Amino acid sequence: MASCRTREVLVVLLLLAASACAQLDWGIDRRLYSGIIGQDGIAADRAPGSDTAFAGLIASSPSGDTIRVLRTTDQGEHWQPIWTMSQPDHTCSNLSLRVCAAPGGWIVVMWLDRAGANNGDVAGARVSFDGSSAFTLQPVAPGPDTLTGLALTRSFDSLPVIYVVWQDELGRDRAERAPRILITRSSDLGETWTAPMPVLDSFETPAVDHGAPGHLYLAARSVRRQDIAVVFSTDQGESWRQSWLTNDSTAHNDMFPSVACTHDSATGERAWVSYDSYGTSSWDVDYAYTINAGGTWVLGRTLDGGSGDQFLSNLDCTNSGSRRVRAVDLSDDVDGFHVYYRCAQAANPTNWSSAIVVSDTQATDAMAPVVTSYGVSSDTLDKGLVFYAGIGPFDLWYDAQQFTGLSEGPMTLSPPAGLQTALLARDELKIRVSLARREKLEVDLYTIDGRQVRRLNVGIYPAGELELRIPVPGLAAGSYLLRLRAGRESGTFKTICVR
């Protein structure tokens, strides 16, 4: 039996000199909506330079579908419904929904609409931030042309343009699976749209993001090759340059790309594309990136995550303050599906933080999780916001990061308030803590270099005195970091296990 000695000495909190982001103080997950959510029916965006963030969802019920848009201005503490639209004919249950914050205090909402004679419209609405005004937009593409696959982005630079990308199957050979990817843009908040322009032929599931003014990155999956390609434009989508990110000679089945870009005068323009990749026995989330505006791509990188298959990734970039990229995905772990989160700094595009579980409740693989960010340009106020579908059935849950520190060197925090003892001895971890209020308590064990060994206990506990005894059998000899989090406070202790 191993015996372990613990020194209650505050050490560096998983942010060593090589780390990119400190993932601190994710709150207690909360249910944003209870009910059934349509497939691909979660969307989110933020208003740059503020703590205002938005969430969109497609709610399905026996009486029909409802598109809802909600807003938070206090870091996810409270959500206010600002717009709803009913679709009584179940016209969007299994179709895409996208939202984006646009210049002038507007939210643009786009979805695929099967209502009426125009079965397959790319429809939309423009809603003010406070919900006091809303306008229906002209359909981007009158159906019946679109079955799935919708992407949306906008630029806040000198060219405030909204771009819509979708998968078009009008007049295409369905037996040959030959959809094409189209793009349109609007410079008047969706009042008018340019004529749809073909971008890729025999491709599906597009994703798009903007870089510098006029620059666009669009990723999609080839139907015939089962590979991921990215196209890059410097003229608002008028012309494109294509690069393959995967090669069918590897016999991988790659799908569901996500793309995110960042740009500033210091680091230039950088872009990441993540995608699901199946090798010989398991699914992984791979990614590629470029640091020279799409000129060349670094390929074949893999994001670390859970113990099982990883899939359904989503990326988001912060284009103010620290310039970061965030990534989430699902992992099919032994005890069910979980959402994993990590981030990297634009200046070091491969130096991702260790993956951390942000889903307190069990997630479902019915749809991909969504990540966005919010906060002003200061690094210490730039936070992550994650949405995912949980069991029960397909409820929409979210978790808000209360603080994300970014540093190139060590960082220390105080231990959780009320922590009394944390002892590791005789294959058992004993924790005594006094909680002033109901909190989520997390206990994680890491190697000395920051690799997670075990999540020893995760639970929500009432206020008062608490004693936990957690078995840790078979722990190998060596040094460990024991991380404890209670609500928004965290502390780490160095533990030495000797056999």
Q: Tens of pLDDT along 462-485?
A: 777 777 777 777 777 777 777 777
Per-residue pLDDT, 111: 81
Contacts made by residues 193-202, CB under 8 angstroms, sequence distance 24+: 193/138, 193/140, 193/164, 196/140, 196/141, 196/168, 197/237, 197/238, 199/165, 199/231, 199/237, 199/240, 200/229, 200/231, 200/242, 202/177, 202/178
Examine the pLDDT at 298 and tell me if it is beyond 80.
yes
CATH 2.60.40 range(s) for the chain read: 3-16+411-498
Examine the pLDDT at 194 and tell me if it is beyond 60.
yes
Per-residue pLDDT, 242: 94
What is the pLDDT of the chain when averaged over all its residues? Answer: 74
- pTM of the shown model: 0.75
For residue 455, what pLDDT band results from cuts at 50, 70 and 90?
Answer: confident
Alpha helix locations (H) across 411-492? none
Name the more confident of 345 and 375: 345
Segment 86-94 mean pLDDT: 55
Per-residue pLDDT, 286: 92
Q: Tens of pLDDT along 158-183?
A: 557 888 888 877 655 555 567 889 89
Other CB atoms within a 10 A radius of the CB of residue 109 amount to: 26
Name the more confident of 492 and 216: 216
Residue pointed to by tokens 């703590």: 51
Q: Tens of pLDDT along 116-132?
A: 555 567 888 999 999 99
CB 16 within 8 Å of CB 411: no
Percent of the chain with pLDDT strictly greater than 90: 15
Examine the pLDDT at 314 and tell me if it is beyond 80.
yes
User: Ranked by mean pLDDT, which of 39-43, 173-177, 264-268, 293-297 comes out on top?
Assistant: 293-297
Per-residue pLDDT, 231: 95
Range of lowest pLDDT (25-34, 86-95, 215-224): 86-95
Return d(Cα 207, Cα 239) in angstroms, integer: 17
User: Ranked by mean pLDDT, which of 39-43, 293-297, 345-349, 406-410 comes out on top?
Assistant: 293-297
CA distances for 336 relative to 361, 393, 471, angstroms = 10, 15, 21
Segment 257-286 mean pLDDT: 86
Name the more confident of 372 and 321: 372
Per-residue pLDDT, 307: 73
Examine the pLDDT at 270 and tell me if it is beyond 80.
yes
Examine the pLDDT at 82 and tell me if it is beyond 80.
yes
Distance of CA 217 to the CA centre of its chain: 18
Per-residue pLDDT, 396: 81
Q: Which CATH architecture has domain 3-16+411-498?
A: Sandwich (2.60)
CB 259 within 8 Å of CB 209: yes
For residue 258, what pLDDT band results from cuts at 50, 70 and 90?
Answer: very high
Segment 237-257 mean pLDDT: 82
Examine the pLDDT at 2 and tell me if it is beyond 60.
no
Per-residue pLDDT, 21: 34
Per-residue pLDDT, 411: 24
* Closest of 162, 161, 243 to residue 200, by C-alpha: 243
Per-residue pLDDT, 488: 55
* Closest of 97, 149, 209, 184 to residue 218, by C-alpha: 209
CATH class of 22-405: mainly beta
Name the more confident of 36 and 320: 36
Q: Tens of pLDDT along 346-398?
A: 888 888 887 888 876 678 887 788 988 776 544 444 678 888 888 765 578 87
CATH 2.120.10.10 range(s) for the chain read: 22-405
Per-residue pLDDT, 381: 47
Other CB atoms within a 10 A radius of the CB of residue 451 amount to: 11
